[in-house]
Amino acid sequence: MSVGVVFDSAGTLLKTNRAVKNIKSGLLLNNSPETTMLTFEDPDRILVLLNISSTEMMQIPPEKNFSEYLKEINVVFGISCGRKIIDAECVAAILFSDPVCLVFDMQEVIRACWKIVSREAESFAMNTGIIVNLRTGEIEFTIAAAGYPFPGVREMISALHLKGVAVYIASGDRTSKLELIADKIGIPRERVHGVATPVTKARVVTNLKDEYDVVVMVGDGINDLSAMRAADVSILTVQQKGERPDALCKQASYIIDDIRDVIGIVDKLNTEDS
């Protein structure tokens, strides 16, 4: 029996720390909030990934308007998720015209995120993003997220490969970041699908069902729900602490608290088939 396993990245393969700032209140949100859950709380929110260097960002005058800076560098961005189907032009209109958000608002979350994760890991990948609100036409939150692999991830990927299992990543994170992570943990770059919305993730799973007898989806958040529904077997990992909606828990064929448990589940699938 041929098996393909699709992993989300942040919170699934990677322990992820986040810093989020509410632009209107000027406050940093506590407890490393799950940004997809925050996005889905309001039907008009869209989570947007920004292809910017966090190191370069820290060199920009903090009082500079953030939209003005993004427009100057002609930033490349990707729509990660939201409850509405939206095109890039609508997001760009907000991204490049917000009058309130400052470079300082992004610098503050980068600094806060770096302070947390640098205590836990020597090397990590940093992502930056925002949540825009279609109803208000504003940048509502700035976001920085940094992650590093959970213990045993590389060994787990290697064990799956030795069993003949094809391993993929489908994630809302930037493709360039995901490719670096894939190199580190042993997943071929051609099996990486970046800036994947929930619809895209589900499409990846559906397409792989034409190639493999069983397709397994492993995720940790609400943006993985559609892909889990499309998969033959769905695994919810709760290794990254946080709340999960009931729909996600009910959809899961298995719920695990250690990503390495995927190996045993795949073994079980092969045993049941034989």
pLDDT (0 to 100) of residue 251: 96
Could you give the number of structural domains in the chain? 2
> Can you name the residues that pair with 262 across neighbouring β-strands?
none
Domain span at residue 40 reads 16-148
157 plus 144 within the same structural domain: no
Last residue of a domain, one of 94, 115, 148: 148
| Cβ burial, residue 113 (10 Å; 0-12/13-18/19+) | buried
The CATH number linked to 176 is: 3.40.50.1000
Question: Considering the entire predicted model, what is its pTM?
Answer: 0.84
33-79 pLDDT, tens per residue? 788 889 999 999 999 999 898 899 999 999 999 999 999 999 999 88
The separation between the first and the last C-alpha atoms of the chain, rounded to the nearest angstrom, is 9
Report CA dihedral (255, 257, 259, 260) to the nearest 10 degrees: -100
109 plus 44 within the same structural domain: yes
Q: Which residue has the tokens 């940048």?
A: 139
187 plus 226 within the same structural domain: yes
159-203 pLDDT, tens per residue? 999 999 999 999 988 888 889 899 999 999 999 998 788 889 999
Q: Which residue has the tokens 């250690």?
A: 258
Mean pLDDT throughout 197-225? 94
Instruction: Read off the pLDDT band of 122 (50, 70, 90).
Output: confident
